[in-house]
Structure 1
Amino acid sequence: MSGDAGEPGPAVRDIDLVRVRYVDAEGVEHLVRLEEAADVPFEDGQMVRSIPSHRDQGHMPGHYWVAKWGDLVDYESVLESKWLTLLDFDLQVTAFVTQPLEFDAIDARGAWLHTPDVFARRRDGSVLLLDVKNPELRDDPKVRLQEERTRRTCERLGWDYAMVSEPSGQRWVNIDLLSSARRPLQLGADLVPRLLELAREPVEIGELMRFMEFPDLARGVLYHLMWHQRIVTDLDRPLREATLVRTAKEALT
């Protein structure tokens, strides 16, 4: 993922100067003081750098289709695409963009540049900035310094920041499964009202499928509704035939 020009060393205590470079929706490049960056709608802009793609590189770039607004977002690695999936599923996230900005800074350790991986805007207007790192690199002193510098810079902006690696746990397994059904329905749209009605009260997935004339088709529609969280369940547990699902209150209004 994106790198850092600083040398490893003690924790950074002071940040003397930070500027932010970004490209707006019209393709115009800007360089502003950190204080000005807090109000910039980075989610509407363009990528500040292109993602390299060449033979024998250590990661696989690609394009993620975002269900929230029906368009493609570039990613730098399969690992990064997993975090885009999680952001796409998160109802509190309204927009996100990759390679959104570059920090151009000088601190007690010297000059440094860094392009974070993902900028996400939440429904309440708050910001989450993510760096996605191979877990094998997390203990690298340069990576730790990059994390410290970026975190402190985000604190000045009032943004949340996280350096993340491989998503883990049953929740990711389930969301990954449901993501296969995130695209608009081409078949089975007529089953939506019935599934929503039958799941007004908690019902097992297997029982719900027994009400369906074409259960294989209905299961795909169910997963689509679960991805869009119109039908919900406890995603921290494995999805089984005995899993209880129910229609979200918002889907009944």
Structure 2
Amino acid sequence: MKKRTARRIKPIKGRHYRWKVPLLKNNNMIHCESRLERNFVRLLDFDREVLQVESQPVGLLYCYKGKERKYYPDFKVITSDGHIRIVEVKPKSMTQKPENIMKFIIGRMYCDLQGWDYHIVTEEQIFRGYIQENLDKLRAMGNEWTEYNDLVYVLHSLQNTGDSTIEMLQSNCTDLDESTFYKCIYKLIYHQKVYADLFATELSEGTMVSIQIGEEN
């Protein structure tokens, strides 16, 4: 059963956009109010420890300048160890605004009562290195349908080859055409069966890949 958000995010036209981001790990659609939130959700989807994401899960009442207001934190994140955190995504330039500081205090107090963590995330964490550019490629091609046997074939080829560039690995996967190979290797990287440093450089033929620790068998 899908959980209802505390506040429905309505699609609007103009300079403020609304996004719906698919979580590839479970096919749920996560609603976002900004590009920054959208890209944060893509990081959550890539995080193997994240099991569940909810958008705007609670509405918290607070007073500011004599008026009662309601604060809707952006996301509730549940990880495989049962840990729960509430996350507020904000541009760094807006984190020192007095009203936002009040929201952060209210959010932290609420989480303390629940035994949860409260995190503020900015573009500094979301756009580190080349991670977002690489997730663009991985989500586009790595989500395409592939034969299970082809995935196993690429994985076994990498096990036999050892650490190598994507280009070298492709040359050893002689049973697959180029398109099928790239669908497989990108899917294996996205689901972290194969390791590639997605922060240091953009994915290319020269990217080094290796078996992800714990995936040898």
User: Whole-Å Cα distance in 1 between the matches of residues 177 and 142 of structure 2?
Assistant: 20
* Conserved? CA contact 1:96–1:121, under 8 Å: yes
Structure 1 gaps of 5+ residues are 1-24, 26-43
Partner of 2:104: 147
Question: Secondary structure of 1:128's match?
Answer: strand
User: Whole-Å Cα distance in 2 between the matches of residues 249 and 182 of structure 1?
Assistant: 20
Question: Secondary structure of 2:151's match?
Answer: helix
Partner of 2:51: 94
Question: Secondary structure of 1:143's match?
Answer: helix
The answer to whether the aligner puts 1:159 opposite 2:116 as a matched pair is: yes
Alignment match of 2:166 (pick from 167, 189, 205):
205
Could you give the per-residue CA deviations for residues 22-74 of structure 1, whole angstroms, max 9, x where no partner exists?
Answer: xxx5xxxxxxxxxxxxxxxxxx6211111122232x32112211111123222
User: Whole-Å Cα distance in 2 between the matches of residues 106 and 136 of structure 1?
Assistant: 23
The answer to which structure has the higher helix fraction is: 2
**Higher RCO structure (Cα 8 Å, ≥6 apart):** 1
* Conserved? CA contact 1:106–1:112, under 8 Å: yes
Q: Figure out how many residues of one structure are paired with residues of the other and give that number.
A: 208
User: Whole-Å Cα distance in 2 between the matches of residues 96 and 182 of structure 1?
Assistant: 21
Give the 3 Å change call, closer, same or farther, for CA 147–95 of structure 1 in structure 2. Answer: same
Alignment of 1:70-81 (within 5 A): 70-81=27-38
* Conserved? CA contact 2:165–2:206, under 8 Å: yes
Partner of 1:195: 154
Percent of pairs with identical residues: 23
Partner of 1:48: 6
Question: Secondary structure of 1:131's match?
Answer: strand
* Conserved? CA contact 1:188–1:217, under 8 Å: no
**1:156 is aligned with what amino acid?**
L
* Conserved? CA contact 1:59–1:78, under 8 Å: no
TM-score of the pair, normalised by structure 2 = 0.83
Alignment match of 1:131 (pick from 88, 102, 117):
88
Partner of 1:214: 177
* Conserved? CA contact 1:137–1:143, under 8 Å: yes
* Conserved? CA contact 1:47–1:101, under 8 Å: yes
User: Whole-Å Cα distance in 2 between the matches of residues 121 and 86 of structure 1?
Assistant: 14
Structure 2 gaps of 5+ residues are none
Partner of 1:65: 22
The answer to whether the aligner puts 1:177 opposite 2:151 as a matched pair is: no
**1:55 is aligned with what amino acid?**
K
After superposition, the CA RMSD in angstroms is 2.4
**1:155 is aligned with what amino acid?**
D
TM-score of the pair, normalised by structure 1 = 0.72
Partner of 1:235: 198
Could you give the per-residue CA deviations for residues 133-167 of structure 1, whole angstroms, max 9, x where no partner exists?
Answer: 24442332211221222123323322222222322
How far residue 182 of structure 1 moved from its aligned partner, in angstroms, is 4.4
Alignment match of 1:226 (pick from 178, 189, 196):
189
